Structure 1
Amino acid sequence: MAYAARHGRKVAALILTSPDNPTGLTYSPEQQAHLARTALAAGVAYVIFDWMYHYITDESPMDLNAFLRLFTPEERQRLIFMDGITKSLGGSNIRNAHLIASQEVIRFLTVWATHSTVPTYYAMAVAVAAYEMGFAEASRPLVEPVNASRRLLKEFLDEQGLHYILGKGYYAFIHVRPWLERRGWASAEALGGFLAETFGLAVVPGDYFSPYGREWIRFSYALPPETTLGALQRLMEGLSALER
């Protein structure tokens, strides 16, 4: 707040993402509420909760009605929620989300919004089908395999003695510095190319996210457990090949 004021600006909103993308870091409802109340008390106009991945966890998804009870009626008017169906149903290309906010915020968005806020035909069709089926049932074919893959992934990485970051969501980051040093590679980008070309394994170099990620690769486990296990085995085959 002080930094913004020194530059003649105000903080319009604080965004809280749980689980976070890409690391999967999560905050408990109590932690989220504490951060939000602190921000509102400091003068932040709105707090936006990004819950796009909250169905893809080992716990229950966030309960909006229970969460709102942690705030006063006045505070609730300054809260905005993004609760997406995109990640819960595995439809990354449909880009659909619910926006839940006060009437004042919704009226403002309706007046100023462009056509980009209107869901596409296919996105709306997916949403309608999911709610006709029941959202928990519609999301189960994705949620259960992903959660099972996450447990398998953790066990595998622990057995291999690899250093990793694994929260919730879809992704894990795996530290690969020893193998980069063996080849004299400056970043994981070269390793990503090697794994794809030689072992048919697609990973995302960590330096695509930040210079601090150049010794890491992002591994997606949004797959059935048996597919995740096969990908992990190819990863270890690739790393072993670099040791020869």
Structure 2
Amino acid sequence: MEHRLNNRVKEIEISGIRKFFNLVGTQTDMISLTIGQPDFHTPEHVKKAGIQAINQNETVYTPNAGLPELKKAAAQFYSKKYQVVYDDETEVIVTVGASQGIDIALRTILQPGDEVILPGPVYPGYEPIIHLCEAKPVMIDTAGNNFRMTADLIGRHVSKKTKVIILPYPSNPTGVSLTEQELKDIAALAKKQELFILADEIYSEIVYEQPHVSIASFLKEQTIVINGLSKSHAMTGWRIGLLFAPKAIAQHMLKVHQYNVSCATSISQKAAIAALTDGINDAVPMRDEYKKRRDVALERLQKLGLQTVKPDGAFYFFVKVPDAYHGSSFDFCLTLAKEYKVAVVPGSAFSQTGEGWFRLSYACSVQEISEGLSRIEQFLKTL
């Protein structure tokens, strides 16, 4: 019966990140610098809130948009951290991770034939949803601009069919963020062209030299903000995402959300309240540790002569495959994994604009980073 399935579903593929991880993940003695998952544990007070919810039998459906206390905490979090004010009753939706927030946002906005502008290389979670909506992704190659998505680059790709600009920052896979002026310029362009902005700010709490600025502070009426607790509070498995949007937009996204999942898990929502209130600064010690790891890895990469861009946030380096290697980024990473027991992700997993690069995650210990880079060095000596 496969021939009777939706052709668009059959055409999309499993994430290249997961595909490569599954390919090499069973090998022994592997140093894995692949998956973008914090190596910290969920803070104790957050876990206790989840346990308490179970013990008190708070295991029933919540309102579709989420627990009122959680929506209020989320709105206050964004107001305190990023100076953007949202009405907690009508402009906040609690989703099943940021991924589900992206899904319901795009399914609410897009119609067949619409175009969506994305920066390339980019996290592989957007393009398949765009295809499923029968819309067209328009990938902007940012490699020649130090992986920075600017209004000038966007303007060259806007057409009459353009509906949305997807803006993930800090970026997965490059770690590059955007300056306040760059965001203002993009907001001005979007306002003039009447374009939606889907701002994926999931790494907003993991930024280093400069504080995170939400583009919603310049163009709230056309911006949908996606965030969540997976990265900031080491809560990937709890699956709590946060969607912020003006009431006129959010009320329609809520309909898609309702029929998609009904609501996020009640236990996780209770834990999330603790994370956003008592744990409002839980990300700070994790961020400081990531910064130390970034600096260690950057110094080593530079000594190895590998080309990369210093990350502004998140926990990734996007590294150029050496010119001395003449195969694909997938083959480079496969050889590295099979023969040198260190796993990184081929750049091609982040669209064809990532070909010739690989992503290295430093969401692991300094010891693992150092050993992984030593093994990469041994491979480089053979080229």
Q: TM-score range by the shorter chain?
A: 0.7 to 0.9
- CA 1:126–1:165 in 2, change beyond 3 Å: closer, same or farther? farther
Superposed CA offset, 1:84-118 (max 9, x none): 22222233344432211212222222233223373
Structure 2 matches for 1:41-190, cutoff 5 A?
41-44=192-195, 46-59=196-209, 61-62=211-212, 68=217, 71=218, 75-113=219-257, 114-116=259-261, 118-121=263-266, 123-136=268-281, 138-167=282-311, 168-181=313-326, 186-190=327-331
Q: C-alpha distance in 2, partners of 1:153/1:191?
A: 20
Deviation, 1:150, is 1.0
Determine if the alignment matches structure 1 residue 31 to structure 2 residue 182. yes
- CA 1:229–1:219 in 2, change beyond 3 Å: closer, same or farther? same
The residue type equivalent to 1:198 in the other structure is: E
Counterpart of 1:12 in 2: which secondary structure? Answer: strand
**% of aligned pairs identical?**
24
Superposed CA offset, 1:189-216 (max 9, x none): 2232222223321111122323454432
Deviation, 1:58, is 0.7
Q: C-alpha distance in 1, partners of 2:289/2:335?
A: 28
Q: 2:164 aligns with which of 13, 26, 38?
A: 13
Contact 1:81–1:99, Cα closer than 8 Å, also in 2: yes
Deviation, 1:123, is 4.1
Unaligned runs of 5+ in 2: 1-114, 116-156
- CA 1:231–1:67 in 2, change beyond 3 Å: closer, same or farther? same
| Matched pairs, number | 226
Deviation, 1:43, is 2.3
- CA 1:100–1:164 in 2, change beyond 3 Å: closer, same or farther? same
Q: 1:193 aligns with which of 334, 341, 347?
A: 334
Superposed CA offset, 1:218-241 (max 9, x none): 11111233332222122212333x
Deviation, 1:132, is 4.3
Unaligned runs of 5+ in 1: none
Counterpart of 1:30 in 2: which secondary structure? Answer: helix
Determine if the alignment matches structure 1 residue 236 to structure 2 residue 381. no
- What's the TM-score once normalised by structure 1's chain length? 0.78
- CA 1:26–1:203 in 2, change beyond 3 Å: closer, same or farther? same
Q: C-alpha distance in 2, partners of 1:204/1:134?
A: 32
The residue type equivalent to 1:160 in the other structure is: L
Contact 2:318–2:358, Cα closer than 8 Å, also in 1: yes
- CA 1:4–1:229 in 2, change beyond 3 Å: closer, same or farther? same
Higher helix content, 1 or 2: 1
- CA 1:93–1:117 in 2, change beyond 3 Å: closer, same or farther? farther
